[in-house]
Structure 1
Amino acid sequence: MLAPQKQYVQWHENDIVQEARWLSESNHAPPTRIVIVDDKTTADEAYRLASQGTSLLWRGDFHNARQLLQAINRRIDRTNERSALRKAKKTAKSPESKAIPNLFHQQRQVTAQRARILSRLLLELDADYDSNLRRAPDMSAACIAAFGPLNEKGDEACVLSFRDVQGALGAAGWREKGVKIDHLDLSIYPHYGVFAPTRHEYVQLLLDAPLPVMPDVAYDIGTGTGLLAIILAKRDAKQVIATDLSPRALTCASDNIERLELTNIQLQEANLYPTDAPPANLIVCNPPWLPAKPSSPLEYAVYDPNSTMLRELLRDAKQHLAEQGEVWLILSDLVEHLKLRTREELLGWFADSGLTVKYRLDTQPKHNRSQDESDPLFAARSSEVTSLWCLQPA
């Protein structure tokens, strides 16, 4: 959620100092340099200013702001292409410069820099998240759903990134139409700030895996939208306890569970394992797959610095398992193809936690990036395998 402590941003406009509440989904500090831009501002000028750290408060047509953002994005692409060519020429004789881990970290840096530049195009909205810009859509409901009510008095304007507004509008669309889940006759409805299960090749693995002998109690650790908990409930687990640290995720999971009228799922805000819960016959988790630092709250579903969550999950699993209980771990081996972790390290973590592999089910993902040969990491992505690891106490 947005930072609870209010922050404010100031700028000069028409020789008057203006002030509004600052909102940032990524918890960026309020900008210190703001210039007013509108339909007359060229994309080259906007890109130059944003690249230098200046934020741009938009006063033109709403749809033109979206086009300006796209134009800035294209200029970032051209700059990155030129930079890549210079680096290629400079380091052509250095094999280390082309190593897969280096490419991955370079891509992460490029992505983070792109996000910083694009986030510098700002909008001012009133206390109801309305805009007086030409052709501005009705954003109030989407922004309230994403960020919560702005203030109780209803007299406080706000400034936020145009990209955050786009995210709120996009999330409202996902929340309305849902994500159809292959192999299941249902849709999942993501909320803003909760990772959408657009990649769900692992669903069939969860349907194919044989349930433990006594599936009386199952845990879904890091439930997100609630998809895994829903699958377990539909597979006749008598009691499913789904945990997450994110209030947004728990609200989203609750919404999806209520839509399906499931009564055997209990939600709990917790760091990994539930408290005051009976031992589980089955622990299921789809943890973040890549050991890198997230650059936004949404990326916590993908990136796990130093594989901290995964290792803590494994370390404490045995003490939460009932007799003959199992752990189902959904993992991609992309991390291995990127040479960020070895298979031996993963197996070592299993052994150190007193767990052994009972069996493994595999599937190959078919998402767009695994088919994109222009991606510098195509060799790794095209070789990726997603697995369900069934673990049991050694």
Structure 2
Amino acid sequence: MTSSNTLTWQEESGTRTALWQADNGARQPSRIQVAKEMDADTAYRLASAGTGLLWRGDFQHARQLLQAMSARMDAAGQRKKKPTPSTAAESFEQHRKAQALRVRVLGQLLIEIDGNYGIPLKRSPDVVQACTEAWGPADGQARVVPLRSLLGLIGAHEWRKKGVPVATLNGAHIHPHYGVFSPVRGEYLDLVAQAPLPAALQHCPQAFDIGVGTGVLSALLARRGVPRVMATDLSERALACARDNLQRLDLLSKVELVQTDLYPAGNAALVVCNPPWLPAKPTSTLEQAVYDEDSAMLRGFLQGLTAHLCQGGEGWLILSDLAEHLGLRTRDQLMDWIANAGLKVLGRLETRPRHSKAQDPSDPLHAARAAEVTSLWRLGVG
């Protein structure tokens, strides 16, 4: 190990060096062991001790080994006696720790990708396009990546190719890019499609989409007849994704994309924001669409809203109450933030989740997920 971004190891050919690439937050291994064959028990033991297993055998065998290691980890977790959480917040913390441990241990099975995004292993897939989408054009620099992370990257490429059908866009597809949150939970889109547009759009014909992501909300607003949408995001990846989707939908002429933190300059009759729903610290780039540390984006949206609304305008906050059921934020806190920002609640539309985890009793957060409600809060100047 020579730096936080570089791996150095010894192999038959001598000393080798490559970039460390782990977008899912996996830690760099403390040491490297080259492996062509290995049984799952040995691999799991070494990975648990922090040894990175740089695979030089058949690629498909590596996938099978990863599955077997995962099964060993599940079995070990079932054998280990854990204290029963006394609160929902403790359940969430235990769940997060288990997720982090899985990333750390299973992230020790490693694949080298050459400087042209090739994998020099038997029966390896062609990952050139998937890597280019995630990391940009090949730069001649070899990388070492956890196999688990690589499989996620390949899966993201397939999602991008196929797209996600969105019923509120009459079945049109949204194509999420790697690292941009996919609109697979369509219930919140139903709320945006149903909410009455503010009359202020007649004299102030502009909406803001704060945190554009894939561009799905901007597309929905444009399809609903909003004359002009200004959509913001700090992430270049998200802005590129939104541009791609809006072009596909022939809506780019109605949406201006702006790279900024939260608000663009000016005012709007409608400001829509769907911040990450859980106030916890993201541990990787890929978690930033799910976790909003200290509710920073949520509070920033509320605090800046009155300064950016036209007369009679509305802010639409799309938010799940899952954080409340997990004991991470209270309803009173949310109402205080709304009031302290000089806002009042004009109305609220609600819907229940339709995703599979809400009906899965084996999910460690099932009680909270089963009680979850997603709301569109219509906010005005108080």
Alpha-carbon distance in 2 for matches of 1:267, 1:341? 32
Q: Which residue of 1 aligns with 2:48?
A: 51
Q: Which residue of 2 aligns with 1:204?
A: 190
Let me know the Cα RMSD of the aligned residues. 1.6
1:273 equivalent among 263, 266, 283: 263
Answering whether residue 334 of structure 2 is matched by residue 349 of structure 1, we say: no
Aligned-pair CA distance for 1:6 = 9.3
CA contact (8 A) 2:325 2:371 kept: yes
User: What is the 5 A alignment of 1:133-282?
Assistant: 133-151=121-139, 154=140, 156-185=141-170, 186-215=172-201, 216-262=205-251, 263-274=253-264, 277-282=265-270
SS at the partner of 1:87? coil
Structure 1 length-normalised TM: 0.92
Alpha-carbon distance in 2 for matches of 1:65, 1:298? 24
Query: Could you tell me which amino acid in structure 2 is paired with residue 9 of structure 1?
Result: L
- Which segment drifts farther, 29-38 or 308-317? 29-38
SS at the partner of 2:288? helix
User: What is the 5 A alignment of 1:11-22?
Assistant: 11-14=9-12, 16-22=14-20
Q: Which residue of 2 aligns with 1:391?
A: 379
CA contact (8 A) 2:27 2:107 kept: no
SS at the partner of 1:293? coil
Aligned-pair CA distance for 1:163 = 2.1
Q: Which residue of 2 aligns with 1:31?
A: 29
Alpha-carbon distance in 1 for matches of 2:216, 2:355? 19
CA contact (8 A) 2:57 2:122 kept: yes
Aligned-pair CA distance for 1:55 = 0.7
Alpha-carbon distance in 1 for matches of 2:30, 2:69? 21
SS at the partner of 2:262? coil
CA contact (8 A) 1:217 1:278 kept: no
Q: Is the alpha carbon distance of 1:372 and 1:159 closer, same or farther for their aligned partners in structure 2, counting shifts above 3 Å? A: same
Alpha-carbon distance in 2 for matches of 1:126, 1:333? 45
Alpha-carbon distance in 2 for matches of 1:82, 1:352? 49
SS at the partner of 1:374? coil
User: What is the 5 A alignment of 1:303-318?
Assistant: 303-318=291-306
Q: Is the alpha carbon distance of 1:239 and 1:15 closer, same or farther for their aligned partners in structure 2, counting shifts above 3 Å? A: closer
CA contact (8 A) 1:288 1:301 kept: yes
Aligned-pair CA distance for 1:189 = 0.1
Alpha-carbon distance in 1 for matches of 2:366, 2:223? 36
SS at the partner of 1:123? strand
Which structure 2 segments of 5+ residues have no match? Answer: none
CA contact (8 A) 2:117 2:131 kept: yes
Report Cα offsets for 1:57-114 as digits up to 9, x if no partner: 011111111111111111111122222xx224xx6xxxxx421110111101110111
Alpha-carbon distance in 2 for matches of 1:21, 1:302? 27
Q: Which residue of 2 aligns with 1:94?
A: none
SS at the partner of 1:315? helix
Q: Which residue of 2 aligns with 1:375?
A: 363
- Which segment drifts farther, 247-256 or 160-169? 160-169
Alpha-carbon distance in 2 for matches of 1:6, 1:299? 20
Report Cα offsets for 1:160-188 as digits up to 9, x if no partner: 22122212211110111000112322110
User: What is the 5 A alignment of 1:60-71?
Assistant: 60-71=57-68
Answering whether residue 354 of structure 2 is matched by residue 366 of structure 1, we say: yes
CA contact (8 A) 1:24 1:164 kept: yes
Aligned-pair CA distance for 1:281 = 0.5
Aligned-pair CA distance for 1:127 = 1.2
CA contact (8 A) 1:6 1:21 kept: no
Q: Which residue of 2 aligns with 1:322?
A: 310
CA contact (8 A) 2:232 2:262 kept: yes
Q: Percent identity?
A: 50
Aligned-pair CA distance for 1:28 = 5.6
Aligned-pair CA distance for 1:26 = 4.3
Deviating above 3 A after TM superposition, structure 1's stretches of 4 or more consecutive aligned residues are: 26-32
User: What is the 5 A alignment of 1:331-350?
Assistant: 331-350=319-338
Q: Which residue of 2 aligns with 1:284?
A: 272
CA contact (8 A) 1:22 1:160 kept: yes
Alpha-carbon distance in 2 for matches of 1:218, 1:116? 42
Q: Which residue of 2 aligns with 1:107?
A: 95
Alpha-carbon distance in 2 for matches of 1:19, 1:278? 50
